[in-house]
Amino acid sequence: MLSFSKWLRQRPRGFRHGTHPEAHKDTTSGLPIEHMPMVAEYSLHLAQHAGAPSRPCVGPGERVRRGQTIAEPDGFRSVALHAPVAGTIRAIEPRLHPAGGLSPALILRTDFLADQSTMAATVPEPGDRDGTLAAIQRAGVVGLGGAAYPAHAKMRIPKDKRVDVVILNGAECEPYLTADHRVMLERAGAVVGGLTVIMELVGAERGTIGVEVNKPDAIDALSRACRGDPRMQVVPLSVKYPEGAKQMLIKAVTGQRVPLGGRSFDTHVTIHNVGTAAALYDACTAGLPMIDRVVTVTGPEIVRPANVRVSIGTPVSALLEHCGGLRPAARRLVMGGGMMGHSQVSLEVPTVKAFGGVLALPGTAQRTPEAPCIRCGKCLDACAMFLNPARLATLSRAGDVEGLKQANVQACFECGSCAFVCPSYLPLTELIRTGKVLARRTGS
């Protein structure tokens, strides 16, 4: 346990390189989580997680209860999907996905007169490891930090690996987002309870929660919740982007570096998001499915910024309306964070498990014209993976697959730092993303 006064004397840990984009968090960091009321219709994408999309187990015309399974996991790297309200399945049809493109979704019409209490599953027996992992998969729990990786799959440790330390990621280094901050503050007990569940399932001896020092109230709340368990510790982190990325977080907390192309297991560590930990706690202690998540709705062009617990599948238009609507100068809507978020082409996309932010931004859709590279080296300084973004972008433009492989293009995790600092406005991240696809297609 780390008291706040001790923390103040302790130097925050960090990593080399990275950037300092403006945080834009003050508007919402002090706002308690509010609950969004039900809406008339929900679109529930079957592809809400990394891995195989869920398989529908209900059809059009069928009545469902709140929390009922409406799609089953389709294989090990897949999870169940649940009805966020009681109502009737109207259709299964392609809908716009916030990550891009059309994908099949269950359309659920709300029955406002039905019993809206949540169906809970049977809670697994303490010590039943396989039963607990199966319950987590059936509860539809995925990583809430953005990757949406199925939580149960992440906790199946390969036989030749071991985990000594579980790190909970409470960095929330993306500009604008404060959803994790509020969860750490308002549900510190559930976050620490989830950490205990993960430690037991992976056999780890220690649990660490990494939090950037710009959230002292969250550090204090978590430190109090950890009190009495000497295996747990809250680690204050420097405020830097991308502090929450796997490689940077492990470096900051343990001092170890994940080898290029390696996994966190290679350093005997596994990482989960703080919101995921709270959801795991709910699933394992109360049998609750993942039917909602906390989303920060913010940006200069939203009338009433807020942290909102919103049902999965809610149309973004309804969420914006709940927050007072858009201001006239709004030109861009982003789902996710200010650096890695996805620009949207329609307000009718629904919320999905992966995205913890909806940002309403000004500015034109037109991009600032790019200029030639002036070899300033700023992109090299920004890249926390020690890559050469300018060179990778040039190789990508030239279609030089061998060069891209030799320059470790796959080590780029598309954090956007290089493009953010480039004074020539070169679309470095997009070019490198294209380079990764090129190299993958040719067997990188």
Residue with smaller CB distance to ligand SF4, 88 or 424: 424
Own/partner long-range contacts of 331-336 (Cβ < 8 Å, ≥24 apart): 331/301, 331/361, 331/362, 331/363, 331/364, 331/365, 332/359, 332/360, 332/361, 332/362, 332/363, 332/365, 333/358, 333/359, 333/360, 333/361, 334/299, 334/358, 334/359, 334/361, 335/98, 335/359, 336/146, 336/174
Q: How far is the CB of 391 from ligand SF4 (least distance, A)?
A: 9
Cα 95 to the center of its chain, rounded Å = 22
User: Using the 8-state DSSP alphabet, how is residue 293 labeled?
Assistant: E
Q: How far is the CB of 240 from ligand SF4 (least distance, A)?
A: 13
Residue with smaller CB distance to ligand SF4, 168 or 426: 426
- How many Å apart are CA 145 and CA 272, to the nearest integer? 8
Strands (E), 171-291: 206-212, 232-237, 269-273
The three-state secondary structure class of 348 is coil
Q: How far is the CB of 419 from ligand SF4 (least distance, A)?
A: 7
Residue 37: CB atoms within 10 A of its CB come to 8
Q: How far is the CB of 25 from ligand SF4 (least distance, A)?
A: 21
Token representation of residue 358: 């909806």
Residue with smaller CB distance to ligand SF4, 140 or 416: 416
Token representation of residue 426: 């070169």
Residue with smaller CB distance to ligand SF4, 228 or 372: 372
Q: What residues make contact with ligand SF4 under the rule CB under 6 A?
A: 373-379, 382-383, 385, 387, 389-390, 412-418, 421-424, 426, 428-429, 432
Token representation of residue 381: 């300084």
Residue with smaller CB distance to ligand SF4, 39 or 390: 390
DSSP states along 358-385 = EEEE-S-SSPPPP-------HHHHH-TT
Residue with smaller CB distance to ligand SF4, 374 or 437: 374
Residue with smaller CB distance to ligand SF4, 49 or 378: 378
Q: How far is the CB of 384 from ligand SF4 (least distance, A)?
A: 6
Q: How far is the CB of 68 from ligand SF4 (least distance, A)?
A: 41
- How many Å apart are CA 343 and CA 324, to the nearest integer? 21
- How many Å apart are CA 258 and CA 239, to the nearest integer? 21
Q: How far is the CB of 392 from ligand SF4 (least distance, A)?
A: 6
Residue with smaller CB distance to ligand SF4, 52 or 340: 340
DSSP β-bridge partners for residue 233: 208
Q: How far is the CB of 413 from ligand SF4 (least distance, A)?
A: 5
The answer to whether 198 and 167 have CB atoms below 8 angstroms apart is no
